[in-house]
């Protein structure tokens, strides 16, 4: 187990009607609130009205930034920074999923610096010294942004999607009401689920691979995510399944599972190129890239991949070598993603072979746990593997 430093100060209000705590939770902050949200679904669902009602009763002065898109763009951050300065905003309240919360984090940081937020934080990864307080009301489970201090912003003009994290960007509090996710589309639930699974695997499949509590917790959360997701296929309003899925996706990236581990994150780096160029859902890109990345590196950690196949993917392993079981597990993951309706090859999201060179050139590469000399050529090899959904025979797995 590697050494680590850990602190996660975000306060979580979890459960049906948890929004009733909003007024009290906002008391320590000033009067001027910037309410940020997406493309209007919170108006249809009634969450907007419920929020505004509480804010008005609490005597807050509410300004709004709407229209934050999936894969949030830097232009939207500048718009938010302008509003915060103009109206002397005291706290930002993000109502939505990871895109809205991520965008709000950079508005919070960008407002409190003279530097250009994009170049300072995303491009140059400079230190952040101050940020507006931020809180969230979560409506889509997946990214974990509601309980971590990171975020991702896109510059579509220059085809860049970059990540940044800083302890000042933890939400002060987040309200997680599982019933708010009842109205999500099948695709939204699926992509959120895949995003969370990918977050866990990025860390689980990294060194050290000796006995490690974080890996045990990762397996427990993966199994719960998968069983909760299956439960929702037959009963989309199952409160317990929605609640478990929501809490799983928060824990998947709130820092807990990374403790003592290196982390890898190369699948995310490669996917960021896909969504920067083609504006595809992050979860869709991960469903294509992540299993193929794992297939590229698995020979460096066969016992760990075999453990994953047995414990999480339910692959039958009697009479097989660890190497065979390890590969079976990766194919069981591919088959699971395809079975739940996610794309599993580039063509499924209208990306052709001719784009691979260009995509690979924008990926930030570095030595990873299982590939010490990982290069842009390796990215190309992986993206070529993403052109085909190959099959492999195995027994067991998650798909009946």
Residues that bind its own copies (CB under 8 A): 1-16, 18, 21, 173, 210-213, 216-217, 219-221, 223-224, 227-228, 231, 239-241, 243-244, 247-248, 251, 256, 259-260
Q: Map residue 231 onto helix, strand or coil.
A: helix
Q: How far is the CB of 386 from its own copies (least distance, A)?
A: 32
Q: How far is the CB of 397 from its own copies (least distance, A)?
A: 20
Q: Name which of 149 and 241 has its Cβ closer to its own copies.
A: 241
Q: How far is the CB of 307 from its own copies (least distance, A)?
A: 13
Q: How far is the CB of 211 from its own copies (least distance, A)?
A: 6
Q: Name which of 93 and 120 has its Cβ closer to its own copies.
A: 93
Pick the closest to residue 201 from 241, 252, 164, 152 (CA basis): 252
d(CA 287, CA 196): 11
Q: Name which of 54 and 83 has its Cβ closer to its own copies.
A: 54
Q: Name which of 117 and 308 has its Cβ closer to its own copies.
A: 308
Q: How far is the CB of 167 from its own copies (least distance, A)?
A: 10
Q: In whole angstroms, what separates CA 278 from the centre of its chain?
A: 18
Q: Name which of 185 and 211 has its Cβ closer to its own copies.
A: 211
Per the CB < 8 A criterion, the answer to whether 63 and 32 are in contact is yes
Tokens 């300004």 belong to which residue? 63
List the structure tokens of 23.
């007024």
* H-state helical runs in 180-281: 186-204, 213-234, 239-252, 266-278
Q: How far is the CB of 5 from its own copies (least distance, A)?
A: 5
Other Cβ atoms less than 10 A from the Cβ of 61: the count is 14
Tokens 């905003």 belong to which residue? 89
Q: Name which of 146 and 328 has its Cβ closer to its own copies.
A: 146
Per-position DSSP letters for 35-54, written without gaps between them: EE--SSHHHHHSHHHHHHHH
Q: Cα–Cα–Cα angle for 264, 130, 102, nearest 5°?
A: 45
Q: How far is the CB of 138 from its own copies (least distance, A)?
A: 14
Q: Name which of 18 and 77 has its Cβ closer to its own copies.
A: 18
d(CA 276, CA 22): 35
Give the helix/strand (H/E) hosting 305: helix 302-311
């Amino acid at each position: 187990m590697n050494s680590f430093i850990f602190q996660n100060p975000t306060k979580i209000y979890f459960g049906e009607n948890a929004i009733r705590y909003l007024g009290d939770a906002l008391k320590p902050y000033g009067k001027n609130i910037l309410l940020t949200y997406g493309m209007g679904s919170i108006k249809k669902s009634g969450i907007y009205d419920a929020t505004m009602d509480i804010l008005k009763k609490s005597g807050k002065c509410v300004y709004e930034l709407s229209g934050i898109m999936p894969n949030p763009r830097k232009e939207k951050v500048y718009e938010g920074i302008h509003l915060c300065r103009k109206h002397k905003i005291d706290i930002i309240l993000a109502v939505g999923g990871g895109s809205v919360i991520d965008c709000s984090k950079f508005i919070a940081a960008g407002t409190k610096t003279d530097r250009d937020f994009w170049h300072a934080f995303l491009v140059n990864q400079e230190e952040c010294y101050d940020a507006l307080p931020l809180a969230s009301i979560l409506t889509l489970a997946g990214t974990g942004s509601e309980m971590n201090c990171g975020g991702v912003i896109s510059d579509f003009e220059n085809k860049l999607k970059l990540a940044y994290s800083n302890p000042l960007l933890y939400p002060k509090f987040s309200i997680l009401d599982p019933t708010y996710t009842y109205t999500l589309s099948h695709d939204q639930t699926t992509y959120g689920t895949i995003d969370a699974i990918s977050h866990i695997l990025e860390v689980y499949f990294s060194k050290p691979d000796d006995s490690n509590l974080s890996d045990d917790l990762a397996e427990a959360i993966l199994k719960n995510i998968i069983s909760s997701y299956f439960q929702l296929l037959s009963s989309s309003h199952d409160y317990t399944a929605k609640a478990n899925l929501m809490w799983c996706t928060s824990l998947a990236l709130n820092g807990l599972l990374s403790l003592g581990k290196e982390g890898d994150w190369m699948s995310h780096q490669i996917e960021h190129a896909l969504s920067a160029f083609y504006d595809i859902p992050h979860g869709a890109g991960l469903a294509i890239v992540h299993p193929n990345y794992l297939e590229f590196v698995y020979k460096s950690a066969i016992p760990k991949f075999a453990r994953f196949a047995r414990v999480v993917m339910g692959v039958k392993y009697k009479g097989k070598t660890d190497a065979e079981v390890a590969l079976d597990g990766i194919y069981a993951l591919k088959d699971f993603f395809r079975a739940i309706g996610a794309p599993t090859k580039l063509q499924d999201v209208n990306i052709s072979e001719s784009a691979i060179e260009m995509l690979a050139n924008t990926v930030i590469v570095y030595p990873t746990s299982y590939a010490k000399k990982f290069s842009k050529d390796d990215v190309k090899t992986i993206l070529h593997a993403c052109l085909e959904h190959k099959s492999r025979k195995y027994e067991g797995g998650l798909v009946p």
